[in-house]
A and B are shown apart, each in its own frame.
Chain A
Amino acid sequence: MKNPAMRAPKSAASYGKSPLLNVKLPPGRAWLVKGLLFAAFAALGLRAFWVQVWTTQFYQNQGDLRFVRTIELPAMRGRILDRNGNILASSIPAKTIWADPTQVESGNDKVQQLARLLGLNAADLQRRLDSNKQFVYLKRQVDIDVAKEVKALGIKGIYESPSYKRYYPEGSAAAQLIGFSNIEGQGQDGMELALQARLAGHPGVRKVVKDRLGNVIEDVSGGVPPVDGQDVRLSIDSKIQYLTYQALKQSVEDNKAKNGSAVVIDAKTGEILAMANYPSFDPNTRKRMTEADIRNYAVTDAFEPGSVLKPITLSAALQAGIITPTTVFHTAPGCQQFYGANICDDSNNGNIELPQVIQYSSNVATSQVVSKMPAQVQWNMYTAVGFGQRPQIEFPGATSGLMRPMKRWRPIDRITMGFGYGLGISTLQLAHAYLIFADRGRIFPVTLFKHDEAPEGVQVVSPTVAREMRGMLALVTQPGGTAPAAAVPGYSTGGKTGTAWIAKDGKYDKKLFRAQFVGLAPIHHPVLVMAVSVDQPTGGKHFGGQVSAPVFGAVVPQALRILGVQPDLPVKPDLVPAQTAQALQLPAGRAMKGGA
């Protein structure tokens, strides 16, 4: 049906036949709709600007909170190596076993097995698993193999996370020197503490996006890469270290001593090849470890050295021209008064020359030398060899020793210091001082790090004096000297013994001794200097030649062989004769039996 009213005029544009489409609307309404639409778009635009530009950081952070995960990247602690690259301390991967007690089912039989695997008390473990906390450490630094077994138990609520464990292959042989680090990887003692900054490194973080399966699907900027700790190469030779420790341990135990320390130094560079102490501890377990076990006596403890100081004093007088090797000393009847004090020898040595002063260790003759020597000469020598000064080594608690300023020296102090009483030095300082006899009268600073080049030494005495002193020191280890136990087959040795009384309650206890020996080998071209100090031997022997010299005698031949030093004394070969074909022709039946 057609509606005539809806018919459009011929002149107007035809929109259709429906009259509704031809209704004339008020123009304001169209503008209103347009305006509303425009306003809506403008609002959207402003909102987009607000979200995308103005507050973008807020939304970015909110987004990151939901997707970006921060992963801690631990830094690997550096290794401590010996001079040949052998590992002395290294971090190995381990696991931390922890639990969420709210997830652990109570009364689980597997808890018993878990306690056994972790070496924990089952009742104690059960008590910890019954708590209301959501995180409980069960055991840290668990070996990987044990952690695998724990995982295999499949106990719900027991988790593991990666960690590191410090391992010391040398065990107790170098325990005080290397030290140890705690469970957090912080150095606590020894080189682990001294080199903490170099060994520790810096942990890093990584920001990543993870999917719902936990896979990392994208790296997000803002992470910091970890910086692993540096490896440190020491001057120590692990074989010589072990030999020194074993020989020292033997001596301390055999002589029922309180403790002992020994230092081996490379005579041409000042590098410390070994530094051992006993009693010791196993740094891997640290069970039953005491304060006394941790102490690095060789570096931290100063003591009155006794007669081992005589060669230092006498070389000062030789260098100053106060005496010569042929000077004769009248020591009879074995005792002499000096500034009101009676100085005695062990026996009446009569008239002796300088070499015999060293060989017999005469206090009287040494006192005579000191009484002729200006105090300045004595002071200069002691300070030149490092007494009263902290050794230049990076070791925590290294002692400077004890030496009074020269101005406060009384005349009798000079006399007693001449043979090693009235001043204190460490075993390391003692070995270091003897370097002046080793390398043409020069001394090098001691170091615990391997040198790339031989250092420049400081001339303390002339090469002639050093050579003369070596000749005298060689007499000590020969028959008739005080330390024949320091003589070794194949190599010439020399040294000086010292048996010092120990001061107690303001006076010397004549029953308490410190037995010492310092030696060089081979004596004519020294490669090694070794000092041994054993505190309070009570096993019947107490002389340095009996207690400490055998340690030198046990270590030096092996150490020289390890260092490739050829014997400088004739030795009767004891080689197994070359097996010849004839010598090996055994009866057929015996050969068959041996092969079956």
Chain B
Amino acid sequence: MTRINFLLLFVVVLCAMSVVRAQYQGRRTFAALDVAQQRAEQLQMDKDRLQVEYRAMSAPGRIERIARTQLDMRPITAARTIFVHEGQVTLPPLPVMPQSQPKPASQGARR
């Protein structure tokens, strides 16, 4: 009888230790989850911020200013536009770009 009592006591102590350990583990896991969720929120906010920055970079006013001043571009006119219709199979020919000439091996070194 005494032996059984000791065995049961041991089991109770073991269960109690397990409960404490499980609770501790649960709280640690929850804290980690919370940190991960905060990180996810932070990343979402960063994404929103980057989207706004991207939009600010591509705002029509900025694009036009750069096109006019830095790239020396002109506004598009109807006379300089080719309209392509849906279903149109023959596209206007693309301009032929200059081909870079392969350099001879002996001239590889730049002077």
- A residues engaging B (CB < 8 A)? 76, 86-87, 90-93, 144, 167, 169-171, 173, 208, 211, 215-219, 238-239, 241-243, 246, 488-491, 557-558, 561, 564, 566-567, 571-576, 578-581, 584
Contacts of B76 in A (CB 8 A): 558, 561
- Expressed in whole angstroms, the Cα–Cα distance for A217 and B55 within the complex equals 39
Contact in complex: A167, B79 (CB < 8 Å)? no
* Interface residue ranges of B5-57 to A (CB < 8 Å): 27-28, 30-31, 34-35, 45, 48-49, 51-52, 55-56
- Expressed in whole angstroms, the Cα–Cα distance for A217 and B28 within the complex equals 7
Contact in complex: A571, B78 (CB < 8 Å)? yes
Contact in complex: B96, A218 (CB < 8 Å)? no
Contact in complex: A93, B79 (CB < 8 Å)? no
- Expressed in whole angstroms, the Cα–Cα distance for A578 and B76 within the complex equals 18
With A87-B55, A170-B59, A579-B95 given, is the CB distance from A489 to B78 under 8 Å? yes
User: Can you list 15 contacts pairing A with B, beta carbon distance less than 8 Å?
Assistant: A167-B52, A167-B56, A170-B59, A170-B61, A173-B61, A215-B34, A216-B30, A217-B31, A241-B60, A243-B60, A491-B78, A573-B79, A574-B80, A575-B82, A579-B95
In-complex Cβ contact of A90 among B51, B61, B77 (8 A): B51
- Expressed in whole angstroms, the Cα–Cα distance for A10 and B80 within the complex equals 133
In-complex Cβ contact of A489 among B27, B56, B77, B96 (8 A): B77
Closest to B83 in A: A566
Q: Is B93 an interface residue (CB 8 A)?
A: yes
- Expressed in whole angstroms, the Cα–Cα distance for A518 and B110 within the complex equals 64
Contact in complex: A561, B78 (CB < 8 Å)? yes
Contact in complex: A211, B27 (CB < 8 Å)? yes
Q: Is B75 an interface residue (CB 8 A)?
A: yes
Closest to A572 in B: B79
Main secondary structure of the interface of B (DSSP, over half): helix
Contact in complex: A90, B78 (CB < 8 Å)? no
With A217-B27, A558-B75 given, is the CB distance from A239 to B96 under 8 Å? no
Contact in complex: B52, A218 (CB < 8 Å)? no
* Interface residue ranges of B68-111 to A (CB < 8 Å): 75-83, 93-99
- Expressed in whole angstroms, the Cα–Cα distance for A219 and B26 within the complex equals 12
Contact in complex: A171, B59 (CB < 8 Å)? yes
Contacts of B59 in A (CB 8 A): 169-171, 238, 242
A-B contact count (CB 8 A): 105
With A90-B52, A171-B59, A578-B93 given, is the CB distance from A216 to B31 under 8 Å? yes
Contact in complex: A91, B78 (CB < 8 Å)? no
Contact in complex: B60, A575 (CB < 8 Å)? no
- Expressed in whole angstroms, the Cα–Cα distance for A173 and B65 within the complex equals 14
Q: Knowing that A169-B56, A169-B59, A578-B96 touch, tell me 11 more A-B residue pairs with CB under 8 angstroms.
A: A76-B48, A87-B55, A170-B60, A170-B61, A218-B30, A239-B60, A246-B61, A567-B81, A571-B78, A574-B77, A581-B96
In-complex Cβ contact of A92 among B49, B64, B80 (8 A): B49
Q: How far, in Å, is B37 (CB) from chain A's closest CB?
A: 9
Closest to A240 in B: B60
Q: How far, in Å, is A389 (CB) from chain B's closest CB?
A: 34
- Expressed in whole angstroms, the Cα–Cα distance for A285 and B77 within the complex equals 35
Closest to A574 in B: B79
Contacts of B45 in A (CB 8 A): 92-93
Contact in complex: A169, B30 (CB < 8 Å)? no
- Expressed in whole angstroms, the Cα–Cα distance for A261 and B30 within the complex equals 57
Q: How far, in Å, is A476 (CB) from chain B's closest CB?
A: 21
With A169-B59, A566-B83 given, is the CB distance from A218 to B78 under 8 Å? no
Contacts of A93 in B (CB 8 A): 45, 48-49
Contact in complex: A216, B52 (CB < 8 Å)? no
- Expressed in whole angstroms, the Cα–Cα distance for A353 and B56 within the complex equals 53
With A169-B55, A490-B77, A566-B83 given, is the CB distance from A584 to B60 under 8 Å? no
Contact in complex: B96, A567 (CB < 8 Å)? no
- Expressed in whole angstroms, the Cα–Cα distance for A576 and B77 within the complex equals 13
Contacts of A491 in B (CB 8 A): 78
Closest to B110 in A: A596
Contacts of A169 in B (CB 8 A): 52, 55-56, 59
Contact in complex: B79, A242 (CB < 8 Å)? no
Contact in complex: B31, A580 (CB < 8 Å)? no
Closest to A567 in B: B78
Q: How far, in Å, is A589 (CB) from chain B's closest CB?
A: 13
